[in-house]
Structure 1
Amino acid sequence: MEYINLVGSLAVLQFFFFGYMTGSARRKSGLKAPAVTGHPDFERMYRVQTNTLETIVAFLPALYISAQYWPPFIISLIGLVYIIGRFIYWRAYIASPEKRSLGFMLSMLPTLILLLLSVVGAFVQIFSA
């Protein structure tokens, strides 16, 4: 379970990092809170942070539930793909938002796989009893 806890913690740290980067973008742009529009650089970083929040809500439960039924090392590797995908998404979105697809897929696909593994694992557990 240590691998799962490490990957889960890294995902949350990544989210905090994106929050820090959003704050930095706000300061550099001069955009005052609570505004979230008005400067393209800030808006892109804000969208990275917001989209990461939207995905982590599904990723973390799927990570921890699937690890109850499948080998934690394999599940943690799938989780690492999510984290790498989020970094790719961040870099692409900042540079050119229309090129964010690879990073988006590399974070959504692992989440979907973990979710499906969670459901299959639960069904196997229920029906094997």
Structure 2
Amino acid sequence: MHPLIALLTLLTVLLLMVLMGLVGRARGRYGVKAPATTGPEGFERTFRVQMNTQESALMFLPALWTAAAFSLTWLAAVFGAIWLLARVWYAVAYIDPAKSRAAPFVLSLLALLALVGQGLWGLGWSLALG
């Protein structure tokens, strides 16, 4: 695995860990005891951004690895960095009710789609050429 792809992978894990910590902190702040997943809006925003990011990371990581393995690694790293930065922006925007999360969501979705497309393209060429 290329070092940039490994770095993006570990930074994604770090993002998930930070969001997990924020949910724990929100549980204390808002008095939401585990295993409850509903409560005041501030808690629910924090919980949903964690869950949304986990759901997106589940698609992002294999797309990143496939794109990097079968196509231009540097391009996969660029799309991966865009996804990661957009997800951080998304988390900040989602937790703060005054901010819109539409732009970072769309940006991370476009980066994910680019990785899927790049991976399919590279894998297709690899299969076609044997």
TM-score range, shorter chain: over 0.9
Name 1:19's counterpart in structure 2: 20
CA drift at 1:69: 1.8
How many equivalent residue pairs? Answer: 129
1:71, CA displacement in angstroms?
2.4
Q: Secondary structure at the match of 1:68?
A: helix
Q: What whole-Å deviation, never above 9, does each CA across 1:83-120 have from its counterpart, x for those lacking one?
A: 11111111111112771111111211111110111111
- In structure 1, the partner of 2:32 is 31
TM-score normalised to structure 1 length: 0.94
Which shows bigger deviation, 41-50 or 72-81? 72-81
The CA RMSD measured in Å over matched residues stands at 1.3
Cα contact 1:84–1:106 (8 A) shared by 2: no
The 3-state SS of whatever aligns with 1:121 is helix
Q: 5+ residue gaps in structure 1?
A: none
Describe the shift of the 1:124–1:97 C-alpha distance in structure 2 as closer, same or farther (beyond 3 A): farther
User: Does the residue aligned with 2:36 lie in a helix, a strand or coil?
Assistant: coil
Matched, 1:64 2:65: yes
- 1:1-129 aligned at under 5 Å gives the runs 1-96=2-97, 99-129=100-130
Q: What per-residue deviation string (whole Å, max 9, x for no partner) do you get for residues 34-82 of structure 1?
A: 1111211110000000000110010000000110122222211110111
> CA, structure 1 residues 97+116, in 2 after alignment: closer, same or farther (shift >3 Å)?
farther
Partners of 1:114 and 1:127 lie apart in 2 by 20
CA drift of 1:20 comes to 0.5
With structure 2 as the length reference, what TM-score do the two structures score? Answer: 0.93
Segments of 4+ in structure 1 off by > 3 A? none
Q: Label 1:97 to 1:36 Cα distance change in 2 as closer, same or farther (>3 A).
A: farther
Residue 97 to residue 55, structure 1, CA distance change in 2 (3 Å): farther
**Letter of the structure 1 residue corresponding to residue 78 of structure 2:** L
